[in-house]
């Protein structure tokens, strides 16, 4: 089926994420004489008139690398004039990728890629590769229940949660700092990343991994408040907020509410169809949020999301060992 193409004046470029058994991805250096020569990119090329994106990517990977590839879901689409970069997972491939167009090839762990060596359009795709598909948001602990809160964080880390937002909106800064230090130490022990809700200055002081900005805070900013060594996330609820998040250079967004949720009963659910149409030109990784269970992660991935963000789906205080 032809791809719906918002901003169809843009040249549609498809690129593939090929992985080796160790989880490294294939990057190719553009040869001399081509546009962006010397830049590292994901293999692929332009969709020809009348071609589906899947057929185009299969053709490009055959021509450039000599492999037979099975093209899977879209990981992210990034409009970056004059192109729209449509990044697809490669489910499997036959043959050993070799350079057929004089490009240098390298398998590398996404975390080790230097983002400045990639064209601008590819940077959100690299961020997406470095983010997990589950993003846990913490509930606010009741007074005196901090120890139970920390043990639930530990259980989540044992379950493989690798990205957490500590959200304590009505607390004093001192109180937030005291709990955040303890959560930070737990996360460091397991390699998980911890973002603080709203207060980026405090996040930096405490050496956390970044900040998650509420929409009203993001709206007042013209640029990301922390450098690229930290993560900056933004809560979004419509297309304009997603656009603004991308414009200020946020690393990722949440989009909510996808389904009806008890925590925000007054908000109208967006529904999967509308939400996923907005991802076509979002240009940054987006987690689905609002009324979702862990079992909806596959649906979120198939709809073009990075994964799901949730409190209750991942927060399991009553787990019995």
Which residues contact Mg ion (rule: CB under 5 A)? 45
Sign for the CA dihedral angle at 107, 110, 111, 114 comes to positive
| Gap between the Cα atoms of 166 and 212, Å rounded | 9
Q: Which is nearer to Mg ion, 68 or 228 (CB)?
A: 68
CA angle 195, 197, 200 (to 5 degrees): 75
Which residues have CB under 8 Å from 206's CB, separation 6+? 177, 180, 181, 184, 196
Query: Does residue 172 interact with ligand 8GT by CB under 6 A?
Result: no
Interface of this chain with ligand 8GT, residues 30 to 49, rule: CB under 6 A:
34-36, 41-42, 44-46
Q: How would you list the strands of the sheet with 44-46, edge to edge? A: 44-46, 11-17, 83-94, 68-80
Closest contact distance (angstroms) between CB of 120 and Mg ion is 17
Q: Which stretch binds ligand 8GT (CB under 6 A): 28-36, 231-239, 245-253, 263-271?
A: 28-36
Query: Does residue 153 interact with ligand 8GT by CB under 6 A?
Result: no
DSSP for 171-208 reads S-HHHHHHHHHHHHHHHHHHT-EEEEES-HHHHHHTT-
Q: Which is nearer to ligand 8GT, 43 or 257 (CB)?
A: 43
Q: Which is nearer to Mg ion, 63 or 159 (CB)?
A: 63
| Gap between the Cα atoms of 78 and 62, Å rounded | 24
Count residues contacting ligand 8GT (CB under 6 A)? Answer: 16
Q: Residue 146's Cα: distance from chain center in Å?
A: 30
Binds 122: which of ligand 8GT, Mg ion, none (CB < 5-8 Å by kind): ligand 8GT
User: Do residues 122 and 85 make contact, with C-beta atoms less than 8 angstroms apart?
Assistant: yes
| Gap between the Cα atoms of 319 and 204, Å rounded | 33
Q: Which is nearer to Mg ion, 39 or 130 (CB)?
A: 39
Query: Does residue 119 interact with ligand 8GT by CB under 6 A?
Result: yes
Q: Which is nearer to ligand 8GT, 76 or 218 (CB)?
A: 76
Q: Which is nearer to ligand 8GT, 15 or 129 (CB)?
A: 15
Query: Does residue 206 interact with ligand 8GT by CB under 6 A?
Result: no
Contacts to ligand 8GT by CB under 6 A: 13, 15, 34-36, 41-42, 44-46, 60, 83, 85, 119, 121-122
């Amino acid at each position: 089926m032809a791809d719906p193409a918002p901003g169809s004046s843009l040249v549609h470029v498809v690129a593939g994420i090929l992985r080796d058994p160790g989880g490294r991805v294939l990057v190719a250096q553009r040869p001399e004489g081509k546009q962006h020569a010397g830049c590292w990119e994901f293999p692929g090329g332009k969709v020809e008139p009348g071609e589906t994106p899947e057929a185009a990517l299969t053709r490009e990977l055959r021509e450039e690398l000599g492999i037979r590839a099975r093209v899977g879901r879209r990981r992210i689409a990034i409009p970056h004039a004059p192109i729209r970069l449509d990044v697809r997972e490669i489910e499997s491939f036959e043959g050993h990728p070799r350079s057929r167009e004089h490009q240098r090839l390298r398998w590398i762990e996404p975390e080790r890629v230097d983002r400045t060596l990639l064209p601008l359009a590819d940077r959100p795709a690299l961020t997406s590769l470095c983010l997990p598909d589950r993003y846990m948001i913490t509930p606010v602990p009741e007074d005196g229940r901090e120890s139970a809160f920390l043990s639930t964080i530990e259980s989540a880390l044992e379950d493989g949660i690798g990205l957490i937002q500590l959200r304590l909106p009505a607390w004093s800064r001192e109180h937030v700092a005291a709990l955040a230090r303890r959560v930070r130490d737990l996360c460091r022990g397991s390699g998980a990343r911890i973002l603080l809700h709203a207060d980026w200055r405090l996040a930096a002081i405490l050496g956390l991994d970044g900040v998650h900005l509420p929409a009203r805070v993001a709206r007042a900013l013209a640029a990301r408040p922390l450098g690229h060594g930290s993560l900056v996330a933004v809560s979004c609820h419509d297309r304009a907020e997603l656009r603004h998040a991308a414009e200020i250079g946020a690393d990722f967004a949440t989009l909510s509410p996808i389904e009806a949720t008890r925590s925000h009963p007054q908000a109208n659910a967006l529904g999967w169809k509308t939400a996923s149409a907005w991802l076509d030109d979002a240009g940054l990784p987006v987690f689905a949020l609002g009324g979702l269970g862990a079992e909806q992660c596959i649906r979120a991935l198939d709809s073009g999301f990075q994964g799901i963000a949730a409190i209750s789906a991942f927060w399991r205080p009553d787990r019995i060992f």
